[in-house]
Amino acid sequence: MIYKIEDLKRIIDLFSGIINKEHNIEDFRCIGFDGEYTSCHNIETGAITEFKSDFKGMLQFDKFKSFIDGIDSDVEVEFTKNIINFKSGKAKAVFPINKEGELPEMRSLFQLETWKVPNDVKEGLKFVLPFVSLDMLRLSLIGVFINNDRLIATNGHRIGKFILSESVLDGKVIVSADSCRVFSKFNFDRIFIDDKSMVVGNETTRIIGSLVDGTFPDTDKIFPSKDVELFELPKEDIIKGLKHILCFSGEAWDIANVIVSFDEKQIKLNYEKDVFKIDRFFDFDSNIPDTKFKINPNYYLSLLENCDKFSDVYGIGTIYGKSDDGKREIIIALIKMKDN
């Protein structure tokens, strides 16, 4: 079989987020060819895509990728039984088989019959993934919670929820965050979820991800009711103010030194560090009680950039935001401050 170099680069792009380059099990660092498909896997995620050739065996991904990256795009690639020939009018190269063997059988993924055809799951995954916890001691929080038509993630300090246009699951599961990151970079038009795994795919490719064993927090009790009173903020001005503070601080965001105040129809941003101080003021006509709180600016930026209306829930130490289309909802924790 003769292929163009772009065909191989497509496979490399697909597998790059899955291959575990540091794993001590060699198979996790390889891609396999079986004559009809090529595949790879790690502990949590696997992928298989159609690729017909006479070549059967396994290749070490890093070496193969480096080899492909150094070859011109007009090169033709021929897969034979034991070697891969690269040839053009000016050069010729041979890449030998690394090892015999085969990866776990994944052809059955093409036989799945129960599919949901979503139009916004990928969008939803990209939205909630930044909310996933990185704390390996809290296993139930290191994944994306799927509950019928809702995607939810939290690290215990903020929560992101995305409401899909249709349900993708009659039940509840937690999908590995690593698998979801791979899904979010892949153009899929079908999805399958059961109590063991989540699979996404298109006409020629399937990617399977693992589930996280655990119980996700009951976030329904945290999000406000639908009839909660919402207000608008001068969010574009506040976003500029937050970025201004970061520019002048010359360091990473400092949660202990960024303060937001609502006072006499104004919003004030304050940053103090050593001898440096900056204040930004914005007009804001609202009946919100005077209040002052410390924030994590990264979290506050995410709230402002993704939501259009907000709720005065400072009394319980959080602020809530919702997008105009009703798809995105965010809650972030605040540190309330007492007046001096």
Sequence ranges of the domains in the chain: 2-109, 121-221, 230-336
Which CATH code for domain 121-221?
3.10.150.10
Mean pLDDT of the chain: 84
Q: What's the CA gap between 136 and 178, in Å, rounded?
A: 13
What pTM, to 2 d.p., does this model score?
A: 0.86
What pLDDT sits at residue 255? Answer: 56
Taking CB atoms within 8 Å and a gap of at least 24, the contacts of 262-268 are 262/286, 262/288, 262/289, 262/290, 262/291, 262/292, 263/290, 263/292, 264/290, 267/233, 267/234, 267/238
Same fold, 2-109 and 121-221: yes
144 pLDDT more than 60: yes
Using one digit for the tens of pLDDT, what is the confidence trace for 67-83?
A: 888 777 777 888 777 77
Report percent pLDDT > 70 for the chain: 89
| Mean pLDDT of the 229-238 span | 87
pLDDT confidence tier of residue 315, bands split at 50, 70 and 90? low
User: Could you tell me if 63 and 226 are in contact, meaning their C-beta atoms sit under 8 angstroms apart?
Assistant: no
Element (H, E) at 292: strand 291-294
Question: Is residue 210 within 8 Å of 44, Cβ to Cβ?
Answer: yes
**CATH superfamily of this structure's domain 2-109:** DNA Polymerase III, subunit A, domain 2 (3.10.150.10)
pLDDT of 170 above 90: no
Q: How far apart are CA 250 and CA 261, in angstroms?
A: 23
Mean pLDDT of 112-117: 83
Q: What angle do CA 11, 13, 16 make, to 5 degrees?
A: 105
Which pLDDT band holds residue 256 (cuts at 50, 70, 90)? Answer: low
d(CA 313, CA 84) in angstroms, rounded, equals 63
CB 333 within 8 A of CB 318: yes
Residues with Cβ within 8 Å of 91's Cβ and at least 6 positions away in sequence, in order, are 72, 75
pLDDT score recorded for residue 100? 64
DSSP run (H or E) holding 246? helix 235-249
Q: Which CATH number fits domain 230-336: 3.10.150.10, 3.40.50.1220, 2.70.150.10, 3.30.465.10?
A: 3.10.150.10
Phi, psi of 113 (to 5 degrees): -105, -30
